[in-house]
Structure formats: C-alpha cells, structure tokens
Structure 1
Amino acid sequence: MNTRSRWLMISVGLGILLNPLNSSMVSVAIPRLQNVFQLDFTDVSWIIFSFYIASAIAQPVMGRASDVFGRRRIFLTGLVVAFVTSLLAPLSPSFGWLIVFRILQSIGTSMMVAVGMAIVRIHITENQATALSVLSIFLSGAAAIGPFIGGVLIHWWGWPAIFFVNIPFVVLSFLLSWRNIPKDEPTTSVTRNMSIRKWFELIDASGILLFTVGLVALLIGLLSAKSSGHISSGHVIVALIGLVAMGAFVRHELKVTSPFIPLRTFAKYPAMTYVNIEFLLVNVLFYSLFFGLPSYLQMVRHVSEFDTGILMLNLGLCSLVASPIAGRWIDKSGPRPALLVSGILMTLGSVWIVTLNQTSPVVSVCLALAAFGISNGLNNVGMQAALFKSSPKEIIGVASGLFNTSRYLGTILSSLLIGIVMGGNFSFGGFRVLGIILTVIALSLVFMSWWRRESGQLAES
C-alpha cells in the first residue's frame, strides 16, 4: 500500500470514527444529563433514541445522495455539520435543543460512515481487504473506548466535553480529506440537474417520512405512557398514529420501485431474513447492557464517571481482542460454532446480572463485561459471515444495507426496553428485571445458533 493510500485511509478513518464514538460516549453521560436538566430516566433516554433513529435513516439516504452530489462532497459536508453541532450542543439552553443538535450530529457523522467505505473501495485498488479491516478498527475501536473517554471527560470537565472532544478530530479529518480524497463525479444513473421531485423518488422520501413518523410516534406513545404511570387517550392516539404510519410504510415499500427498505427481499431470501432477526436480537441484548450498566454503576453503586469509564473499557477491549481470533476460527469452522459460544457467553453474563445484589464487589462487573465483550467480538464477525453465506452475490449490497438497518433497529429497541423497564427512575430492581429479560433473549440466541448448527449438519449430509 503506497503513501497516498495510507493518508487516504487516515483521512477517512478520522471521520468515520465520530459516529460510533459519539454513540458510545453518551452512555456514561446519562446520569449527569438527568441531574443537569432535571429529567426522569425515560425522558433523558431520548439522547440515545434520537441519535440511532437519525443514523438508521440518514446512512442509506446519504449513501444515495452521494450518487447525486459526489462522495467527496458528502464526506466533507458531514465534517462541517459535525463541527458546527459539536460547538453548539454544549450551549443548548434546554434539553430539547440538545436533542436537536444531537440529531444533526448523527446526520453529519452518518454522512461519513455512509460513503467512507465506498471511498476506500473506489480509490484504493491494492490490498482492499487490509484497507477495509483498518477502517473497521477505527469503527470498532471508537465504540470500544467511547465510554472510557466519556467517563474521563465528564469527570474532569463535565458533560459538554463529550461534544468539544470531536473538534480536533473533525478539523484534522477535514484538512486531510480536502487534500487526499480525489474529486469524483456522480454516477451516470443520476445527474445534478435532476429535479427535486425525481430525486425524492430516487431516495424514496415518502418511505423515509412514513418510517420516521411511525417509529417516533410509537416510541413517544409507549414511553409517555410508561413515564406517566397510566395510559391516556393521548398516548393511545399517538401510538395508533405510529401503527398507521408503519402500516402505510409497509404498503408503500411493497409498491415503489426504489424502496428505502426493500421488504420484498426479506420474503425472497428467508435465510437472510433469519440472520437479520438474529442480529437484531444480538444488538438489543448488547446495547441494553451497554447503556444500562453505566447507569447502574453510577446511580445504584455510586461509582464515579471516571471509574465507570475504566470498567466499561473492559467490554471494548475484550471485543477488539476477540474479533481477529473469531475471524480465523470462522474461516476454518464457519459461523455456527462461534455464534453458539457467543450465545452461551451472553447467557452467562445475563444470569450474572440477575444474581447481582447491591453489595456485590464492583470488580466482579469485569467478569460479565468480559463475557459480553468476547461475545460481541464473535458476533461482529460471525453474523457478517452468516449474512454472506445466506445472501446471493447479486444482492450483497442490499443485504449489507439491511444488515446495518437491523443493527440500528436493535439499538433503538434496546433503548426502548430500558426506558420501559426503568420508567422514570433507574433502580436496582429494574436493573434485575432487565437482566431477566436479557437472559431470555440470550437463551433464544443459543437456541437459534444450535438450530442453525443442526440444520447445517442436515444440509451437509
């Protein structure tokens, strides 16, 4: 790999790490934000919901937008948006404004993730697998160290620091990207002179709108009912609006020629559908722990943000160490054994949460975090390998897009699960209930992995 290619990878890597970094740092900031803005746990959970909902929608949209405006332009625009929101978010006069800047931050960082891999694929023609694996380290590494960085920053400088820390990364990435990312032209399938109406049809703006309205309305209806402690007619109406919008979304996606989420693909390839469902459940479990455990440590055990970040670093480091080992194992044995072991580790970690009491040594948290970290490393590689095995080559691009959608939906559902279980205040009893639910999910994943193994053996015989 030549020097220009290395600098291109660094330029792109510094940009794409901002999305996972900002999604993970906030897990340590929840208790502090709850105190600063005088909110209950359900309300402050929207700092998580908003980011992932926006990412789930923005990434495929910006991927298509890059065909119209060029990948370099979208990447640089994303850096500008990330810079502005990182400056303005700490100055938010209210939590509502903080959510607005958080959504804009998600859109800006999603621009870079959506086109970063494509830039490397197009402009680095030698050792592409090595280049893509390096970018994967930027992504997984940023997510792994996010809670640690967040804990240190909040401990010494307060919650605004988790936004200000983005600025040096943004500035350096912009300067390097301006110099190293080659200019590109839109693909021949679209033109810059395309009308707004045609472009909206291309990106399926109607589908995006229906999906957004439906998902947000359902979340607001469910969380508002849980937070207030009773179900009012207003909650029911909002939830019904969400259900109607989601129904209209499904009907719309089945009709249009360029759907935002190609639902027909799921019906045509059931094995791929099965992988996406399994991956969704994996992310529900993992991110329920990822967002729930820091709040438990700080609000139940009164551990400082700094120490919480140190403990959470164990989760990310175990995941990073397990990933390359998982790659070699899966190359030899296929994804089934690794996913089965992952399910067993998640079950053990979930059972540990259930048996935890308020006097358990905090150091013992490291054991559960190690189990979940190793299982996450196995899942990241195993699920991707299972997807490739179950998806025809001619639709692998669509399959990868659906796979990422499953990741974000699982993350959103994990935040919803925590909000419903905890209600207005995070409690030890609620955390134990969460552990029971996660144990059920983990056992389901063990069964699904075992069923995959049995069905695979039958198929091979």
Structure 2
Amino acid sequence: MTVRKNEKLIILAVALGVILNPLNTTMITVALPAIQKDFELSATNISWLIASYFIISAIFTPLIGKLSDIYGRKLIFLIGLGLVVVSSVLAPLSPNLPMLLAMRGIQAIGTSALFPAGVGIVRNTIQHNQNRVIGTLAVFATTSAAFGPTIGGVLVQFGGWPIIFYVNLPILAIGIVLTLMFIPKDEKNKATSYKLDIIGILLFSLFITCWMIFLLGLENGVQFVTLILAIGLTVVFYMYEKRREEPFIDVNFFRKNLNITVIYGQYILSTVIFFAVLLSFPTFIQIVLGESSQMAGIVMLSLSIFAMIMTPVATRWMERAGFRIPLLASVLVGLVGVILLFTVKDDSLLIWVGVVLAVTGISNGIQNIGLQNLLYTYIAPEESGIASGLLMTSRFIGNILASSIYGVAFATGMSVANMSTMAIGLLVVAVVLVPGMIFVTVKEKTSES
C-alpha cells in the first residue's frame, strides 16, 4: 500500500536518473569549442572525449543491467548516482585532458547504471501500467536530449564549460533523497547465479577501441596493423561469444534473425547521421558563423525539437499506414537533409541553418520510433529484454561512429570545406539506408496484402 501511495515519487526518482545520460551527452556538444580552446586540443582529441563516453556506456549498460539483477536495483541505482556526483564535482577541476577523460569515464559508468537499474525498479515496484511508465521514462530521456544543447549553450555563455557538470548536482541531490526515502529496499536474490563474461567484456572493449583508433587515424592514412588487429579481435569476439551460454553480447540472436540484424544496422546508421550533425553544428555555429554558445544552443533546438515532435506524429502515421511508407519517406527526407548540408556556408543565415537541421530532425524522429516499433513486430515477447538492450548498444555504436567521422572530417579544424567532407561521408550512409529500409519493410508490406 505504501509503495502504491509513493509511485509517483518513485517514478520521479527513476526519471531524474534516466535523464542524466542523454542530458550530459548533448550538453557537452555546445561546450566543445571552449574545452578545445582551454586545453588546446585537436578535433581528434575532442572526438575521444565524446567517443570514450559511448564506448564505456556500450560496455557497462548491459553489464550493470545483469549486476543489478543480482545485487539489487536500488543499490546499483544509488551507486550510479554517487559516481555521477563524484564526476560532476571533479570534472570541472580537471587541469588536463587525461583527467577530464577519466572523470567523463566515471560519469559514463554512473549514468550507464541508471537506465537498466531504473527500469528494474519500475518493474519491481510499479504494479500497473508498467509499459506506460517505461514509455514515460523514454519521453523524459528524449526531452532532456532535445534540450541539452540549449541548456548547455546558456550555461556555457554565463559560466564557462565547467558549469555543464555542476548543473547535474541539484538533479542528483533530489534523486538521491527520493531514492533513499521512497524506493523500497532490495530483496535478497539468492537463487540467481551469474558468471561475468570477463573475456567477452575485454574482447568487446578491445575491438571497439581498435576500430576507434583506426577510424580516427584515417586522417594520416590507413593504419593496416590497427585494421588487421581490429578485424581479428572482432572475429575472435564473435567466435567466442557464440559458444557462451551466458554471453556478454548474444551474437546468436543476430545470427538467427537476419531481419532483426538489418534493423539494428539501420538504427546504427540513422544514429550516425543524427549525432554527427548534433556534434558538429554547435561548434560550426560558434567558430565559423561567429555566434555565441547561447545562440548555438537555440539554433540546435531546430534539430532536436523536430525530432521530438515527429515521434508521436510518426507513431499515429504508422498505426494507419503501416511501417513501409513512413520509413521510406524518412530515409528520403534524410537524404535531402544530408544534401542540404552542402548548402551551409560561412555566410549562411541562422534561419537557413535551422531549416537544414529541422529536415534532419524530421527524418530521425520518424526513423527512431519507427525502427523501434518495427523491431518489436519481429520478436517474441520473451525476447523483448535482450532486444531492447541490444538496441541501446546499437545507439552507442552509432554515436561512436559519428564521433569518428567528426574527428576525421574536422582534423584540420572547423571550416566549410571540412563540413562538406563530413557531408560526403554522411551522404554515403544516407544512400545505404534506402535499400536497407526497403528490405526490413518487405515482410511488413507482405503481411498487409
């Protein structure tokens, strides 16, 4: 009865934790020029600051999800909040890039704990409308990501880049108090026995990092040794994981479901375009167009708001028309959005930049919700847990690839020419999305006829 009475406060506590990962992911995009200037960094260094966050998140999100099942969701949730407190206090005091990278790494581990532990708390304590509550958490996360660049822009304008870390503290304080007071204690789970796939975790970490090193090194030519090592580690990881009974990443899930595998691939590519644009334009607006961080944040709203608006619109559209037409329309709109990147120059009006960003936002808004909903039409209910976890990993991989593209394209600095270089890479991605989307919607179309 007490839990039922405190449900709203429990949901609020979880929501405050869930928003921290997307909020910190997008707030920092507007702060990159200031950080780059203070530490005298190259675009490659900045790429590592962004990509390392996603590499760590990709590793720890599924790992901590399993740990929370064993050791308790409330405990893991509080540990996650505590790690974010430590990073938020110490990151602004970083004297150099290695220290800042370390603090961002701690922040990534902390925020990675909050989503799986938070969903576990909801499933354990909220007895009715669980799916609606989890959907509400997704809205919280999407909204915080949408407003991240704007919040970051205002904060950096008035307090410099360190303040984007300090803004976490009031959110954390409220979240910790609500968690301690209202989330029920964890029940001891003596029946669960789970052996950590340490080798799988290490192999996954190594091959992802090797691919990052290879991609970011393309500005200096192809590093064949790194490429061979990356390919080799990827193959070893796959061969090892497919024989594991409790693998870190269930590669057999992909092997047995081609349509699902392609959907994940589409989701990765869609994320690449969206995050590359989200990552590059705040810096472009400040460095090339000479605007303030506050103005950059305001202009970036065009990208995120249109993506957010299209989510409910696309959901209703797909309910009426099925998946094929909306998803094919989304990739064509996305292709137009990438082509429009070539029109952005050093004398472009901010309103035109906003229009270009809006087109990309519209495309991503449809693809994001469409691919997620399409995924769940292919899988059985009992596989929904692994499917959603792998979808989160796919998003992180897309973010890592986008960070690599950013690092290579802007290795010599932010400029119109380098923006066009990035646009060429994204154009290839946008073109590949078209046949992929046709493939994954064939079954859906057939079932309607």
* TM-score, length of structure 2 as denominator length: 0.95
**Structure 1: unaligned runs, 5 residues or longer:** 192-198
Amino acid at match of 1:435: A
Using the TM superposition, give the Cα deviation of residue 248 of structure 1 relative to its aligned residue in structure 2, in angstroms. Answer: 2.0
Cα separation, partners in 2 of 1:92 and 1:134, compared to 1, 3 Å: same
Q: Distance in 1 between matches of 2:409 and 2:30?
A: 19
Using the TM superposition, give the Cα deviation of residue 188 of structure 1 relative to its aligned residue in structure 2, in angstroms. Answer: 4.7
Amino acid at match of 2:90: L
Using the TM superposition, give the Cα deviation of residue 15 of structure 1 relative to its aligned residue in structure 2, in angstroms. Answer: 0.9
Partner residue, 2:395: 407
Partner residue, 1:351: 339
SS in 2 for 1:203: coil
Partner residue, 1:216: 209
Deviates more, 1:262-271 or 1:98-107: 262-271
Deviates more, 1:237-246 or 1:214-223: 237-246
Q: Distance in 2 between matches of 1:334 and 1:183?
A: 43
1:261-296 deviation line (CA, Å, top 9, x unaligned): 111111111111111111111011111111011122
Aligned residues: CA RMSD? 1.9
Partner residue, 1:113: 115
Partner residue, 1:389: 377
Using the TM superposition, give the Cα deviation of residue 437 of structure 1 relative to its aligned residue in structure 2, in angstroms. Answer: 2.4
Matched, 1:249 2:258: no
Moved over 6 A (4+): none
Deviates more, 1:300-309 or 1:124-133: 124-133
Using the TM superposition, give the Cα deviation of residue 237 of structure 1 relative to its aligned residue in structure 2, in angstroms. Answer: 4.0
Could you tell me the percent identity over the aligned residues? Answer: 35
Q: Tell whether the 8 Å contact from 1:338 to 1:378 is kept in structure 2 after alignment.
A: yes
Q: Distance in 1 between matches of 2:56 and 2:330?
A: 29
Deviates more, 1:321-330 or 1:401-410: 321-330
Partner residue, 2:445: 457
Using the TM superposition, give the Cα deviation of residue 349 of structure 1 relative to its aligned residue in structure 2, in angstroms. Answer: 1.2
Q: Tell whether the 8 Å contact from 2:344 to 2:416 is kept in structure 1 after alignment.
A: no
Matched, 1:266 2:266: no
Partner residue, 2:37: 35
1:138-192 deviation line (CA, Å, top 9, x unaligned): 100110111001111111100000101101101110000111111122545426x
Matched, 1:87 2:86: no
SS in 2 for 1:247: helix
Q: Distance in 1 between matches of 2:426 and 2:218?
A: 23
**1:162 pairs with one of 157, 161, 164:** 164
Q: Tell whether the 8 Å contact from 1:151 to 1:305 is kept in structure 2 after alignment.
A: yes
Using the TM superposition, give the Cα deviation of residue 319 of structure 1 relative to its aligned residue in structure 2, in angstroms. Answer: 2.0
Matched, 1:431 2:431: no
Q: Distance in 1 between matches of 2:432 and 2:263?
A: 13
Matched, 1:318 2:306: yes
Amino acid at match of 2:105: I
Using the TM superposition, give the Cα deviation of residue 336 of structure 1 relative to its aligned residue in structure 2, in angstroms. Answer: 2.2
* TM-score, length of structure 1 as denominator length: 0.92
Partner residue, 1:284: 272
Amino acid at match of 1:448: G
Partner residue, 1:328: 316
Q: Distance in 2 between matches of 1:43 and 1:442?
A: 27
Q: Distance in 2 between matches of 1:11 and 1:383?
A: 29
Matched, 1:203 2:191: no
Q: Distance in 2 between matches of 1:423 and 1:278?
A: 27
Using the TM superposition, give the Cα deviation of residue 298 of structure 1 relative to its aligned residue in structure 2, in angstroms. Answer: 1.6
- Describe how 1:87-236 pairs up with structure 2 within 5 A: 87-190=89-192, 202-224=195-217, 226=219, 229-230=220-221, 236=224
Using the TM superposition, give the Cα deviation of residue 453 of structure 1 relative to its aligned residue in structure 2, in angstroms. Answer: 4.3
Deviates more, 1:332-341 or 1:381-390: 332-341
Amino acid at match of 2:143: G
Cα separation, partners in 2 of 1:445 and 1:70, compared to 1, 3 Å: same
Q: Distance in 1 between matches of 2:301 and 2:188?
A: 41
Deviates more, 1:303-312 or 1:426-435: 426-435
Q: Tell whether the 8 Å contact from 2:200 to 2:240 is kept in structure 1 after alignment.
A: yes
Partner residue, 2:358: 370
1:6-65 deviation line (CA, Å, top 9, x unaligned): 111111101110111001111111111111111111111111111101111110000011
Q: Tell whether the 8 Å contact from 1:66 to 1:186 is kept in structure 2 after alignment.
A: no
Deviates more, 1:390-399 or 1:45-54: 390-399
Using the TM superposition, give the Cα deviation of residue 399 of structure 1 relative to its aligned residue in structure 2, in angstroms. Answer: 1.4
Q: Tell whether the 8 Å contact from 2:302 to 2:355 is kept in structure 1 after alignment.
A: no
Q: Tell whether the 8 Å contact from 1:42 to 1:425 is kept in structure 2 after alignment.
A: no
Amino acid at match of 2:344: L
1:49-92 deviation line (CA, Å, top 9, x unaligned): 11101111110000011122100000011000000110000111
Q: Tell whether the 8 Å contact from 2:267 to 2:368 is kept in structure 1 after alignment.
A: no
Amino acid at match of 2:205: T
**1:45 pairs with one of 43, 47, 67:** 47
Q: Distance in 2 between matches of 1:225 and 1:129?
A: 44
Amino acid at match of 1:282: S
Cα separation, partners in 2 of 1:247 and 1:451, compared to 1, 3 Å: closer
Q: Tell whether the 8 Å contact from 1:69 to 1:185 is kept in structure 2 after alignment.
A: no
Q: Distance in 2 between matches of 1:47 and 1:271?
A: 34
Amino acid at match of 1:208: I
SS in 1 for 2:40: coil
Using the TM superposition, give the Cα deviation of residue 457 of structure 1 relative to its aligned residue in structure 2, in angstroms. Answer: 3.2
Partner residue, 2:17: 15
Q: How many residue pairs are counted as aligned between the two chains?
A: 447
Amino acid at match of 1:223: L
SS in 2 for 1:255: coil
Q: Distance in 2 between matches of 1:187 and 1:354?
A: 56
SS in 2 for 1:87: helix
Deviates more, 1:324-333 or 1:398-407: 324-333
Q: Tell whether the 8 Å contact from 2:344 to 2:353 is kept in structure 1 after alignment.
A: no
Deviates more, 1:181-190 or 1:350-359: 181-190
SS in 1 for 2:242: helix
Using the TM superposition, give the Cα deviation of residue 460 of structure 1 relative to its aligned residue in structure 2, in angstroms. Answer: 4.1
**Structure 2: unaligned runs, 5 residues or longer:** none
